[in-house]
């Protein structure tokens, strides 16, 4: 499955509970000037292409488009991985915790992202 870029309006609709369709969305928050975000790009694409995740929707969101999203969703910086379940007036939002030790110039270990998705989906 591909990764779609999420717009500010679309993210705000998701967070406001205005998406009536039940879906599980994995969202990578990034910044264009963040080297860790760029290094995480390929492993994130690899996860999105896994057959066992074909029922999930993978998105990328540039935090510069809506800086307040970090506060609204409860995280401090980028890169950040979140999982959001839509289909109710109050979407279920989960944020992958920051690692104790950043992983090889990309912040998250791809294995930790996968474990987070498996646990929260």
For the cut 90, the answer to whether the pLDDT of residue 104 exceeds it is no
Report the domain count for the chain: 1
Residue 89 is part of which domain span? 3-120
**For the domain that residue 31 is a member of, what is the CATH number?**
3.40.30.10
Tens-digit pLDDT profile for residues 35-76: 999 999 999 999 999 999 999 999 999 999 999 999 999 999
Does the reported pTM lie above 0.85? yes
- pLDDT band for 1, please (50, 70, 90 cuts): confident
Of 34, 15, 33, the residue nearest 25 (C-alpha): 15
Q: Are 62 and 32 in contact (CB under 8 A)?
A: yes
- pLDDT band for 31, please (50, 70, 90 cuts): very high
């Amino acid at each position: 499955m591909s990764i779609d870029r999420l717009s500010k309006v679309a993210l705000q609709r998701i967070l406001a509970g205005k998406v009536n369709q039940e879906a599980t969305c994995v969202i990578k928050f990034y910044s264009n000037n963040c080297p860790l975000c760029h290094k995480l790009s390929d492993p994130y694409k690899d996860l999105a292409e896994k057959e066992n995740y074909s029922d999930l929707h993978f998105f990328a969101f540039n935090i510069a488009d809506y800086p307040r999203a970090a506060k609204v969703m409860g995280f401090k910086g980028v890169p950040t991985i979140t999982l959001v379940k839509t289909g109710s007036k109050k979407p279920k939002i989960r944020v992958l915790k920051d690692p104790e030790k950043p992983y090889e110039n990309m912040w998250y270990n791809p294995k930790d992202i996968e474990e987070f998705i498996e646990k929260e989906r």
